[in-house]
Amino acid sequence: MNPSEPRPDAAPLFPLSAVAHQPDLTLALSLLAVSPALGGLLIRGDRGAAKSTSARALAALLPANVEGLPAHGEGAAPFVNLPLGAGEERVVGTLDLDAALRGEARLKPGLIAQAHGGVLYIDEVNLLPDHLVDVLLDAAAMGVHRVERDGLSVTAPARFALVGSMNPEEGSLRPQFLDRFGLCVDVQAPTTPGERAEIVRRRLAFDADPAAFARAWAGAEADLYARLDAARGRLAQVTVPDALLIRIADHAAAAGVRSLRADLVLYRAACALAALEGRVSVTAADVDRAAPLVLTHRRAPHAPDLPPPPPPEPPQPPADPPTDAPDGEAPPEAGDEPPHTPGAPDGGDHLPPAADPPGEVFAPVPAHVALPLPGAGRGTGNAGRPRVTGSHPDANPARLALPDSLRAALIRAGLSGGSGEGPALTRADLRAPILAPQEGRRVLFVADASGSVGASGRMGALKGALLDALGGPGHPDRAALITFRGVGATLLLDWTADAHAGARAVEGAPTGGRTPLTQALRLARATLDGARGAQLVLFTDGRANVPTQPGADPWAEALGAARALRGVPALVVDTESGRVRLGRAAQLARAMGADLAPLHLPDHHPDPSLETP
């Protein structure tokens, strides 16, 4: 292929070498061009940040001589754009009805088969049905596409570069799908006026005369193609020193990644980068450079931002750290504030639990809280009829897949040379639908464990309500727990279906210190971004008193963080007690667009703050 000589029947594409001021994006696409086995690239960012333009340009840099690729002409690596409304038959292929009527059992290829040897691009991949995302990621990772439907069983090569793009503001991918994308890049339009002007200048030149623009960049594009082609030929020779496996594992551990897929993809990405740089041995610099592309979308919400800095000496805490005062007592002096941890995101949204005072552990007291009902707010796409993903033979189906049953009858009649009359439907033709499993209900619990809740004697009731919600009627299929106290918020329990693990986390949660409410709400936002359709239950009295920045108003910050959660189905449980109440939980609920409920203590556990001394 010579990219300087575009095919006359194809409209010129914006060259990848001409994409300006997106170095991470062009690097990730180059790595994917060298090694499609990386498993695909997810591009997250605002509209107008060159996501689709760059993906289209990648196809022009891929080789055309791929096994199993139809002869499309010189330099004809295909670019397939998957429409958002495409169904399973369009994506994986289906029975060729014309051939069936002639008595031939033949598969009509889908978009996966058409993308072999090229690029399969999915815009708004976060809005694609989960079962289709699963099929596409499987094919991209294995390089083979298997179709078993309509009485057919077909296996075909499917080596393509999978590129998905999404705007995070419109929803996230589920964590298991995020993990299966090999690479990820967060892109945004530059803010520097000079860089923005250069991007606009190039785009205007391309729109005015695409052919002339392509000719002007033909030399740079040919150099990039030659570099990628040489790297593909060199990739099999690249070796990784055994000592670098520890460095790879260190990167994954620092990002809080549990899946070993991240280590394997980082290994392959470092190999592709070394090949791209003209070397046959991977260096530590290759691993460090590739790590953000591999770990950005996999990192735990509480992990430090990537790329991780060199490990510095941790600051030594004071010999006698001050004890946080509960609400109502004098705050500590300015000089006694706990030291700021540089690695904490957003000014300290998450600090290690070890930085908090030890706290007191309260035993749960029986209490009840009604969880928010599913169906309100965003991401509740589980309602309605179950989604049909295929069919299977069933002589006595409880539910009939009529189109597939008719197809089976047509195939049987055609292959047996039946008469010209319509084929008779027999029990052997009957098909039952395969229904996609219904997504489980997810609830993120965020619990105020500060000294104000403990001093009021209501922490036991808060724990009792949490345990009731975790294991009572209508309990979630998966739950996560964030607690906040002292100097930060902690994801105490990641998403789990283990009710016993949730109970252990709740029962052992300590209490004491100040109320870092803003940090908890921001950590909740980050945790919910990876869990489509999850609900939020917040237990708090709203008495925020830990700013994220020096001199900031903690309550104003908390309201801002609450507004960022609007649209999430949520319930705020007011844990405030005493005769004088600020009513801040109600204000938080209004800012979040959430329901509000009080935390009721059982009759035999009256509110201690209301007792007469």
The tokens describing 158, both together, are: 């499917």
Give the DSSP per-residue string, 118-170: SEEEEETGGGS-HHHHHHHHHHHHHSEEEEEETTEEEEEE---EEEEEE-GGG
Q: Max alpha carbon distance in the chain (Å)?
A: 97
Total Cβ atoms within 10 A of residue 484 = 31
Give the DSSP per-residue string, 529-597: HTSTT-EEEEEE-------SSTT--HHHHHHHHHHTTTTS-EEEEE---SSS---HHHHHHHHHT-EEE
- 389 DSSP 8-state letter: E
Is the Cβ–Cβ distance between 112 and 91 less than 8 Å? yes
Pick the catalytic residue from 90, 106, 261, 563. 261
Pairing of strands 570-574, 535-540: parallel
User: In three state form, how does the secondary structure of 189-208 look?
Assistant: CCCCHHHHHHHHHHHHHHHH
Q: Rounded to an integer, what distance in angstroms lies between the CA atom of residue 56 and that of residue 210?
A: 14
261 assigned to active site: yes
- 304 DSSP 8-state letter: P
- 525 DSSP 8-state letter: H
Give the DSSP H or E segment for 448: strand 442-448
Q: Rounded to an integer, what distance in angstroms lies between the CA atom of residue 558 and that of residue 548?
A: 10
Residue 484, helix vs strand vs coil: strand
| Positions marked catalytic | 261
